[in-house]
Amino acid sequence: MLLKLLALCLFTFLIYVPIAEARIRHYKWEVKYEYKSPDCYKKLVITINGKSPGPTILAQEGDTVIVEVTNKLLLENLAIHWHGIRQIGTPWSDGTEGVTQCPVVPGDTFKYQFKVDRAGTYLYYAHYGMQRESGLYGSIRVSVRDNFTEPFAYDYDRSIILTDWYHNSTYEQATGLSSKPFVWVGEPQSLLIQGKGKFNCSSSSLTAGTCNTSNSECSPYAITVIPGKTYRLRVASLTALSALSFQIEGHNMTVVEADGHYVEPFVVKNLFIYSGETYSVLIKADQDPSRNYWMTTSVVSRNSTTPQGLAFLNYYPNHPRRSPPTVAPAGPIWNDRAPRLNQSQAIKAHHDFIVTPPTTSDRVIVFLNTQNEINGYRHWSVNNVSFTLPHTPYLIALKKKLHHVFSQTPPPEGYDSVNYDIYNVSKNPNATTSNAIYRLGFNTTVDIILQNANTMNVNDSETHPWHLHGHDFWVLGYGKGKFDMNKDPKNYNLVNPIMKNTVPLHPYGWTAIRFKADNPGAWLFHCHIEAHFYLGMGVVFEEGIDKVGELPSSIMGCGPARNPPVQSNLQPQTQSHMSLDATDKPSSIMGCGETKGFDKP
């Protein structure tokens, strides 16, 4: 125990270096596998400094965050994505393996450095294969500038992350998904709230010692509240598969923030939340204080067998482990789509914080979301193309003009909307795999229409949460059925659209978004469901590659020789600018495929 504490002290430290207003938040993380029992079932979990969820990054708007990550996974590569952070001027720190960097190989230390330029609720997690669902994730909470007043008031600020949890390893899952016949991952065994859930250990035949409901690691998560106080609860979802409904028994929630943007407040009894989304809700501890209340998550959009996720809202001074005297309220009907679409449409920018979108766009790309088969292997695709990552990350390939390392045939801008029946099972025999990308004119305005369709099962269409790296986009609208290019754009919300980085595509529906291609780099846009992206549901956008600063050469490559020692005496000038020509650049994004040893001094 003492040794563990000492190790923690050595690896967990935080330095505040004041530079005028902005500061540097410096973290050192050690990532490894450990046996944990988050839902009472013992399995290997990826931890950061011994924890899953990992430490919360606390910063203030304008600060620079530096995270030095040491990969102690022994046999597995690593990359960490900073979800919602646009990485303006630091596209090499996006942490997207295959797009912006080579993986961090076991034993290596990688230094991520970026500016958190906007207050809000963000996330981080592994972005290598399906690694995220092994437990490497956490919150980033960026507070407002000192003299800034938010459009709502609260007494305390809390963060929770909602996940789903599988007992099979990512290796077992990836093997099944990549096999013929296809083995689907199935519904998760549990739902976790801030890394804690409860599996019914007696419900299946388990080896003795692998599942114990008395294990303190799986006692329900509790948020303690003081009667009468108002809490800002930052709720995020990082599920591998499930769309969720989050609810607090007896307490309404006022939605005030979404993906780092202030929302025109509205009250909900339950919050629908999709993987990759973050919300802040306000709750008032104004109920009978003599008892505790249930906080629940329930799967929606899938006919799931997974039991509800349970946590407690603990009214002080009741014991935090004291179970509420009631039966946990059931979630909404899983296949009732109307309230989900309604909530999506209800999210508008706060009237004092509207960022007006450009009224027209320069390019419209339609993405038909389907499930396909290619040579008998199951895939997910957009416009019949199932995306694969090249061996050389795009950012490096593009910057170094290594055009032969990925397909130069432009991917389709749309699909045959006249003849395609989105309600019927489509076998899509012509689906192909490709690693081609969309090249966007720098600073142009781009519209993306996400179009949903039937899967390969009769009467089945999934919810796909789409996440864009490097940008926030305006959410112009949602609709049912097939998007009508002549009619639907007339109803776009150009008045007060919310800006987000993750948006759901509802079953058999469409979602329209708009963004400015003004952040030089290569950016992934993908479904946030682990298995769907793993099997091809994603695309990459390139914009302004010529404006990307010289890619780092000091840390090119994946071995320690190409990883120079980390500078400890960071110069305020260099750090606060994060400029493209700074000398302290992470060349550690290079070092696999053809970039190995590239530009080596």
Ligand X SMILES: *[C@@H]1O[C@H](CO)[C@@H](O)[C@H](O)[C@H]1NC(C)=O
Site for ligand X, rule CB under 6 A: 21, 146-147, 168, 172-173, 176, 183, 185-186, 200, 202-203, 209, 212, 214-215, 250-252, 266-268, 303, 305, 335, 339, 342, 346, 383-384, 412, 415-416, 419-421, 423-424, 426, 428-430, 443, 459
User: What are the DSSP E strand ranges found in 102-194?
Assistant: 109-115, 120-126, 137-143, 156-165, 190-193
Q: What is the C-alpha separation between 397 and 590, in angstroms, rounded?
A: 10
SS3 of 155, please?
coil
**Minimum distance between the CB of residue 343 and Cu ion, rounded to whole angstroms?**
19
| Binding residues for Cu ion, total number by CB under 5 A | 4
CB of 505 to Cu ion, least distance (A): 8
Residue 346 contact among Cu ion, ligand X, none, beta carbon within 5 to 8 Å by kind:
ligand X
Instruction: Give the residue with the Cβ less far from ligand X, 285 or 540.
Output: 285
Cβ of residue 466: shortest distance to Cu ion, in angstroms? 8
Which of 242, 292 has the CB closer to Cu ion?
Answer: 242
**Nearer to ligand X among residue 207 and residue 568 (C-beta):** 207
Residue 588 and residue 132 in contact, taking contact as beta carbons nearer than 8 Å: no
Out of Cu ion, ligand X, none, what residue 415 binds, judged by CB under 5 to 8 A for its kind, is ligand X
- Distance CA(200)–CA(197), nearest Å, equals 10
151 Cα distance to chain centroid: 26
Which is nearest to 385 in space by CA: 361, 369, 399? 369
- Half-sphere exposure for 228 (CA within 13 Å, toward CB): 1
Which is closer to Cu ion, CB of 70 or CB of 502?
502
Q: In this complex, which beta carbon is closest to ligand X, that of residue 71 or of residue 296?
A: 296
Among candidates 496, 601, 499, which has minimal Cα distance to 553?
601
The entry of Cu ion, ligand X, none near residue 464 (CB within 5 to 8 angstroms by kind) is Cu ion
Q: How far is the CB of 526 from ligand X (least distance, A)?
A: 18
Residues pairing with 271 in the sheet: 246
Give 287: exposed, middle or buried? Use CB within 10 Å, 0-12, 13-18, 19+: middle
| Candidates 187-195, 243-251, 429-437, 462-470; binding stretch for Cu ion (CB under 5 A) | 462-470
Residue 329 tokens, joined: 């309220």
Residue 593 CB, shortest distance to ligand X, in Å, is 29
23 binds, among Cu ion, ligand X, none (CB under 5 to 8 A by kind): none
Residue 430: name its binding partner from Cu ion, ligand X, none (Cβ under 5 to 8 Å by kind). Answer: ligand X
Instruction: Give which of Cu ion, ligand X, none residue 532 binds (C-beta under 5 to 8 Å, depending on kind).
Output: Cu ion
- Contact with Cu ion (CB under 5 A) among 25, 464, 467, 482: 464
Give the nearer residue to ligand X in terms of CB position, either 80 or 248.
Answer: 248
* 513 CB-contact burial (10 Å; exposed 0-12 / middle 13-18 / buried 19+): buried
Q: What is the rounded distance in angstroms from the CA atom of residue 480 to the CA atom of residue 53? A: 36
Q: Which two tokens stand for residue 56?
A: 């919360």
- The H-or-E segment that residue 282 falls in is strand 278-284
Print the binding letters for residues 501-540 with Cu ion: x by CB under 5 A, - otherwise: --------------------------x-x--x--------
Considering beta carbons, is residue 165 or 415 the nearer one to ligand X?
A: 415
Q: Residue 12 or 215: which CB sits closer to ligand X? A: 215
Smallest gap, in angstroms, from Cβ of residue 200 to ligand X? Answer: 4
CB of 598 to Cu ion, least distance (A): 34
Cα of 256 vs its chain's centroid, Å: 20
Give 83's contacts (C-beta < 8 A, 6+ positions apart). 122, 123, 124, 125, 140, 276, 467, 501
Mark residue 191 as left, alpha or beta (left: phi above 0; alpha: psi -120 to 50; beta: remaining).
beta
Judged by beta carbon distances under 5 to 8 A according to partner kind, the member of ligand X, Cu ion, none in contact with residue 356 is: none
- In whole angstroms, the minimum distance from the beta carbon of 429 to ligand X comes to 5
Binding-site ranges for Cu ion (CB under 5 A): 464, 527, 529, 532
